[in-house]
Amino acid sequence: METKVLLPTKENIAKAGEALFNGQLVGIPTETVYGLAANALDGEAVKSIFAAKGRPADNPLIVHISDISQIERFHLVSEIPEAAEKLMAAYWPGPLTIIMKKGDVPSEVTAGLDTVAVRFPSHPVTKKIITAANCPLAAPSANTSGKPSPTTAEHVFHDMNGKIPYIVDGGACEVGVESTVITVAGDVPVLLRPGGITPEQLEAVLGHIEIADAVLNQLKEGETAASPGMKYKHYAPSAKITLIKSSDEKYIEYVNAHKDEGAAALCYDEDVPFLSVKTYPYGAKNDYESQANRIFDVLRQMDDDGAGIVYGRCPDTNGTAMAVYNRLIRAAGFEVIELA
């Protein structure tokens, strides 16, 4: 199958919408990362997402809408809890996915769970595509399973060329990491995946929330993940990444001392002039938004270059940096060296 990259003209959006309505897969831009979309009400179409990505069938998908009224119109959930209403009012449309008890959604979407993840993206092109398709869209990130999420149409083409008919090019993603995922299906809201909406922003609306163990820590043998996606080794570049938790000086000293190993540095922008190895800067030290925006592109560049041993600066864990930490710690297979 030939994969066409479409600019978001009126005709092309209509074409993408029609393909989606008819059960085909389309790569779509969102403000977080690109998605691999299918008609969420068509179980067979949804199944083909899992095949194209090589995604384990027990990892559920997010349902994307372009208007809050679609939740009722398509009976996506059995009830909208008060906490969900507050979150929708504060952060939708935007990079926040809310998990609620499921309504009439095919089991392929929810991987057999009794809950469903719903998101209302803010990217103007995403909204137009969903509206043109006239159905909610199930969409995971449009990468091959285990690879960094795509933040440009080129990334999607790299992973999906020959597997899907269309990719709509909406430019580079603004947020750069996937949406925040929170469940309000239980008694207490639980953050399952950090993203563009920070824990601080969630607590401003909900009061105290819990943070699932797997957000910052490695799951122990036999422990079940609150969110199936967290048990997989995500974002695995081919390089062997080790994160270094230390001062600026100690990091620079450590990396330069490993120059002979052919090591590279996944560093802050400010470190670059002081390092004598190949550098992959992923943003400024105190600019968490820029780090989120660039991290996946940098991980892909490392792959393209065939980087072998990489020493990464361990991100902070507050604000938007929690999302960057959550992705990088997985890319590093939880290997962290702390230098006193």
Residue 198 near ligand TXA by CB under 6 A: no
Residue 106 near ligand TXA by CB under 6 A: no
Compute how many residues bind ligand TXA; rule: CB under 6 A.
Answer: 27
C-alpha 139/C-alpha 292 separation (Å) is 20
Coil, strand or helix: which one is 120? coil
What, of Mg ion, ligand TXA, none, does residue 59 touch, CB below 5 to 8 Å by kind? ligand TXA
First to last CA, the chain: 54
List beta partners, residue 26. Answer: 37, 166
Report whether 281 contacts 268 (CB < 8 A): yes
* Binding characters for ligand TXA, 8-47, by CB under 6 A (x = yes): ----------------------x-xx-x------------
- Range in contact with ligand TXA (rule: CB under 6 A) among 150-158, 173-181, 252-260, 305-313: 173-181
CB of 214 to ligand TXA, least distance (A): 10
Q: Which residue in the set 14, 68, 113, 209 belongs to the binding site for ligand TXA (CB under 6 A)?
A: 113
CB of 251 to Mg ion, least distance (A): 29
What, of ligand TXA, Mg ion, none, does residue 198 touch, CB below 5 to 8 Å by kind? none
Q: Output the DSSP codes for 139-204.
A: --BSSPTTSPPP-SHHHHHHHHTTT-SEEE---S-SS-SPPEEEE-SSSS-EEEE--SS-HHHHHH
In angstroms, what CA-CA distances link 92 with 85, 146, 221, 241, 321?
10, 28, 36, 35, 21
Footprint of ligand TXA (CB under 6 A): 30, 32-33, 35, 59-62, 97, 99, 110, 113, 115-117, 119, 139-141, 178-179, 181, 192-193, 227-229
